[in-house]
Amino acid sequence: MVLVALVAEGETLPRPGREALSLARTLVDGGAPGPVVAAVTGPGAVQAGGEAFALGADRVLAVPGREATADRKLLVDDLLAAWEQAGGQEGLILCPGDEAGRELAPRLAFRLGAGVASEVVRVRWEGGRVLAERPAYGGKAVATVALPGPVGVVQVKDRAFEAASPEPGRTGQVEELPAAAGPERLRVVEEVREEAGGVPLEEAPVVVAGGRGLGGPEPFQEELAELARLLGGAVGASLAAVDAGWVPPALQVGQTGKSVAPELYLAVGISGASQHLAGITGAKHVVAINKDREAPIFRRAELGVVGDWREIVPALIDAVRALRS
Ligand SMILES: Cc1cc2nc3c(=O)[nH]c(=O)nc-3n(C[C@H](O)[C@H](O)[C@H](O)COP(=O)(O)OP(=O)(O)OC[C@H]3O[C@@H](n4cnc5c(N)ncnc54)[C@H](O)[C@@H]3O)c2cc1C
């Protein structure tokens, strides 16, 4: 069995969850023992679970009796109840690359006495066992991890796998389970959602990202924001720009920031440290503007412009405006 541990977002499945489901389907279709079971928690679990069939689940177990922000321990109890209901003696549990998945994976593994591999970018079923590949040394190497034992837990990296398009005819009956009983040790008393204008960074088809080379917060709000607006994209940043207080942490791209997979990633005044590049492995095309021709970003970029961004970016904005008029 491959069980995908999911927390519903309202009445839908979050994108990282859909990516994990698609991976589960691919693994089982490629020879790993099935079925694909989706275990969904959160108040909208039954409705969201309905979607899981079209995305590749053979069986869907929903535990709707709990807030998605609930004590993670209780969510783990709910998911383990689903695992047992599905006959869980052996198999693989996949957790998505969102916040819930990152938190639930090690907890599930601990409770099952299973091995866990996190931020996985590739999974293979070979010789009767799961082999998971994950970046090591800040993305400079790839480690292949074998998960021995009857159960393994894999948390997939956000954006490392593409979510398949739903198959409209594929439907089924969602099985509803009661929430597991247990003492609540933590309660979320308030959730503050950040106001995000424009295209969300993780979904943007174009990301215009800036680094320390921009020299201050203004170019992010002016030149980069304008270029992103013209290209229908979003502004991103390196950790150095975040640490300098020029942009909020929500804009950080990289190993400890967001993973993005746009059609075009434009890196302006970013050196291209491995920790930054770890966040753009899924970018289709990378273009870099940097005044240092030796900057490592040029090894990742398809097109590089050596020069001062202060000359190049305004000229680029004019050129895009001219193309659009
Ligand atoms: C555990 C760990 C996790 C990390 N996670 C992340 C992460 O998630 N994301 C991340 O980004 N970093 C991360 N880092 C930090 C990373 O190692 C780098 O320090 C950081 O990415 C550097 O940011 P930068 O490229 O903006 O700055 P710098 O490395 O200082 O590069 C600035 C670049 O701007 C160029 N430049 C300067 N002036 C101009 C100009 N006028 N015109 C054009 N180019 C110019 C310079 O030539 C230089 O290449 C992490 C580090 C560690 C140790």
**Predicted local distance difference test score (pLDDT) of residue 188:** 75
User: What is the chain's length?
Assistant: 325
Please state which CATH class domain 2-176 belongs to.
alpha beta
> What pLDDT was estimated at residue 191?
76
Task: Write out the H or E segment, with its range, that includes residue 299.
Answer: helix 297-300
Bridge-based pairing state of the strands 36-41 and 2-7: parallel
Taking CA atoms only, the protein residue closest to ligand 1 atom 53 is 275
Closest CA to 43 of 90, 2, 76, 8: 8
* pLDDT in the model for residue 136: 86
Q: Residue 238 CA: which ligand 1 atom is closest? A: 11
Give CA separation, 205 vs 67, 112, 265, 284, in Å. Answer: 32, 39, 9, 10
For 230-248, what is the mean pLDDT? 97
Strand runs labelled E in the chain: 2-7, 36-41, 59-63, 91-95, 115-120, 122-126, 129-136, 141-146, 151-156, 175-176, 206-210, 234-237, 264-268, 285-290, 303-306
Domain residue limits, the chain? 2-176, 201-324
Nearest CA to ligand 1 atom 4: 275
Q: Could you tell me which residue, 199 or 122, shows the higher pLDDT?
A: 122
Q: Say whether pLDDT at 196 is over 70.
A: no
Residue 91's nearest CA partner among 39, 159, 40, 14 is 39
Looking at every residue in the chain, the average pLDDT score rounds to 93
Model pLDDT for residues 48-67, shown as the tens digit of each residue? 999 999 999 999 999 998 87
CA contacts within 13 A on the Cβ side of 120: 28
Which protein residues are within 6 Å of ligand 1, measured from CB? 211-213, 238-241, 252, 254-257, 269-271, 273, 275-276, 279, 289-292, 295, 308-310
The vertex-237 CA angle with 236 and 243, nearest 5°, equals 145
- pLDDT confidence band for 74 (50 / 70 / 90): confident
- First vs last C-alpha separation in the chain: 55
- Strand, coil or helix: what is 41? strand
Neighbours of 248 (CB within 10 A): 11
The reply to whether domains 2-176 and 201-324 share a CATH topology is: yes
Average pLDDT over residues 34-47: 95
pTM, two decimal places: 0.79
Among 253, 271, 305, which is best to mutate for testing ligand 1, by the most ligand atoms less than 8 A from CB? 271
Average pLDDT estimate for 241-263: 94
Q: pLDDT tier at 325 (50, 70, 90 boundaries)?
A: confident
- State the distance from the centre of ligand 1 to the C-alpha of 210, rounded, in angstroms: 9
> What architecture (CATH level 2) is domain 201-324?
3-Layer(aba) Sandwich (3.40)
Q: What pLDDT was estimated at residue 149? A: 87
Q: pLDDT digit string (tens) for 109-155?
A: 999 999 999 999 999 999 888 999 998 887 778 999 999 889 999 99
Show the tokens assigned to 190.
């308030």
At residue 298, the pLDDT reads: 98
